[in-house]
Amino acid sequence: DAKTTQPPSMDCAEGRAANLPCNHSTISGNEYVYWYRQIHSQGPQYIIHGLKNNETNEMASLIITEDRKSSTLILPHATLRDTAVYYCIVRSGKTQGGSEKLVFGKGTKLTVNP
Amino acid sequence: SAVISQKPSRDICQRGTSLTIQCQVDSQVTMMFWYRQQPGQSLTLIATANQGSEATYESGFVIDKFPISRPNLTFSTLTVSNMSPEDSSIYLCSVKRGSGANVLTFGAGSRLTVL
């Protein structure tokens, strides 16, 4: 099962920062936090991941609390094209084949409004 | 990052038939996975497609229902056998990028509707 808790939906005004929270209070010391998003009718798209330190790339910033029990994905200037379901994922065990397994929860439906 | 092409992008199928979905990657990859996304739901891992050997299925999924082939490092197929309306879903192929963190690239998905 997913080890994260996210609000089911959020709204954001176009051009403003979108801050998407995620709780992962049972995260282990060596588990990464991953963020993906799924725009309607498309496959999920990787955004960013982090372990302890805050991370930034061309798409977003990831802020992880010092105790690592929660994180926030920040889209600095949201556009209408950022409307999507955002998934916060913590590695949730192994596949039957022994590799890392990403378990997708229900995510947060972000709607960016004009 | 890898580019993934899935075919068909969508199809409407009759109950009791089978459909094969193809996944082509533009570069050689070690790890390839098949996911299912039922209507209004999140993604569920079906299996890991292993090159040159039988796929490894997750709990609740069996080879007779979802046979998978992986003849080489750039191609895989997933067959949905003896379909029923409950199999109406989006089926997604994904590959792992690199050997480090578990960053996956997904195909656009194949949307199947079973009547």
Per-residue pLDDT tens digits for A49-81: 999 889 999 999 999 999 999 999 999 999 999
Q: Which residue in A has a C-alpha nearest to residue B102's C-alpha?
A: A100
Whole-number Å distance between alpha carbons of A87 and A84: 10
The residue of chain A with its CA nearest to that of B32 is A99
Query: Is B103 near chain A, with CB under 8 Å?
Result: yes
Q: For chain B, what is the mean pLDDT?
A: 93
Closest-CA distance, A100 to chain B, in angstroms, reads: 7
| pLDDT at res. A53 | 87
Give the contacts of B5 (CB within 8 A, at least 6 positions apart): B23, B24, B25, B26, B107
